[in-house]
Each structure stands twice: as C-alpha cells, then as structure tokens.
Amino acid sequence: MPQVVLRVAKPFMNIGRFTILMSSAFMSLRELKTYRQNTQIQMVRIGIESIPIVALAAAFSGAVTTVQTAYQLVSPLIPPKIIGAVVVPSLTMELGAVVTGFILSGRVGARIAAELGTMRVTEQIDALEAMGLNSIGYLIVPRVLAGILMVPVLYVAACVIGVLGGVAAAELTGAVSSPEFILGAREHFDIFGPYFGLIKSFVFGFLITAVSCHIGYFTEGGADGVGRSTTRAAVMSCVLILIADLVLAILLL
C-alpha cells in the first residue's frame, strides 16, 4: 500500500482497532469474576490513590474561581452572593469533571499506557495468550471498568473539595461570607448540574482508560515505543476529554 494512503488510512485503522478492542473487552465481561482481584487493584490505583492529587487540584480550582469571580463582579448592582451562584455550578458542571479528567490523563493514562506498552514490548502479553489467558479480559477490562467506576467517585470528591476551597477563599479574601456564598449557590442551583457532571465523569473515565489501554496494548518498538505510547496516551486522553466535553454540552444542555 502506498505510504500516502497508509498515512490517510491510519486514523481510521486506529478507530477500527479501538472498536474491535473494546468489543472484545465487553465480550470478556462475563469473565470478570476471574479477574476480580485485578479489577480491585486497578480501582485502588486509579481511584483511591488519585484522591490526594485530585483534591489538591480541585481545592485550588475552587479557590481561584472564587477569587477571579469576585474580581470580575465588582459592581454595586451585583450582590456578592452571585459569587456562590457562579462558582458552584462551574465546579459541578465543568471544573469538577474536567480537572479530574486532566489529572487522571497524566497520572493514570500515562501509567496504563506504560504498563501495557512494556508488557507488549517484553512479550508478556504474548506469554499470557500462550498460557491460554484472555489478555484483553485480564489487562484491559479491569482497567476500563475501574476507570468508569472510580472517576465519578473522584468527581464527587473534586466537587465537594472545590466548593470548600471556594468558600475558604471567599472568607479569606473577604469577597463574600460563607453564608452568602451558600445562599447564592442554593438560589441558582440547577439539579441537572451535578448529574451532568456525573455523566461527564463516566465518559471521561471510559475515554482515559480505554484510549490508554488501546495505545499501550498496541505499542510497537522497544523502550522508545513505550515512551511514545505514554506521551500519546496522555495527550490523546486530554484531547478526547475536551472533544467529549463539548459534544456532551451540545447534546445534553
């Protein structure tokens, strides 16, 4: 096949390979009991061990959003409680999910791609297959499932800690008192916001883990290939998070 045609066809080939990989993974769900322990390990690594960094990022996101909102809303016509009405929906609908997604792209996506890539280039995956184990069920399903289940947990943590960070920043800077902040958040609260964020976090969890698994699983070359896969996994996860964020906003809002 000519080089140009290959270059044009490569994205479509990747999409096709990704679709086949995910189909195989979901077909392997019936074997989940076999890989239960592996799934638990992945849930701890993706979810529990990511809580500190996600909490830190969320707290600062909430605080910075509060300070910047207070800075921009300096007007005698706008009551200070509006800061709460801006910050809380921003966190629940956007920042809580997206910041968590970006953090996990770097932390989890890169790690998954590196793990699977190393296993591929060292032929450990071939060895698993040779032993009669379903490598997709053993390596990919636990990771994707862990991502889908644990990213929403991290999203909830990010929202709560982000709001607390916002309240703390509001009190510390004197922009607005915490009761006023909460009052504004309650007055303008839209119940769909948290559900929208939750839906996003499910999607982001799937995208980060699935794309990273795909890139890592099909790694080529030696250590250099693993490095490239790691970088590609982090970048592709971030890009897909942004695209999915826009698509979901258009579809659901």
Q: Which parts of this chain interact with other proteins (CB under 8 A)?
A: 40-41, 43-44, 47-48, 51, 77-79, 82, 88, 149-150, 152-153, 156-157, 159-160, 185-192, 194, 198
Nearer to other proteins, 150 or 236 (CB): 150
Tokens read off for 208: 């980060």
Nearer to other proteins, 117 or 166 (CB): 166
User: How crowded is residue 82: how many other Cβ atoms within 10 Å of its Cβ?
Assistant: 20
Nearer to other proteins, 147 or 194 (CB): 194
**Shortest spacing between CB 19 and other proteins, in angstroms:** 29
What are the residues whose beta carbons fall under 8 Å from the beta carbon of 43, sequence distance 6 or more? 145, 146, 149, 150
Tokens read off for 29: 């769900």
Cα–Cα distance measured from residue 80 to residue 247, given in angstroms and rounded to the nearest whole number:
33
Which stretches of 51-140 are DSSP H helices? 51-72, 82-90, 96-104, 110-121, 124-130, 135
Nearer to other proteins, 160 or 235 (CB): 160
Tokens read off for 11: 């994205």
**Shortest spacing between CB 152 and other proteins, in angstroms:** 7
**Shortest spacing between CB 157 and other proteins, in angstroms:** 7
- Which amino acid is residue 135, in one-letter code? S
The one-character DSSP state at 211 is H
Nearer to other proteins, 115 or 125 (CB): 115
Tokens read off for 82: 């509006």
**Shortest spacing between CB 150 and other proteins, in angstroms:** 8
**Shortest spacing between CB 103 and other proteins, in angstroms:** 16
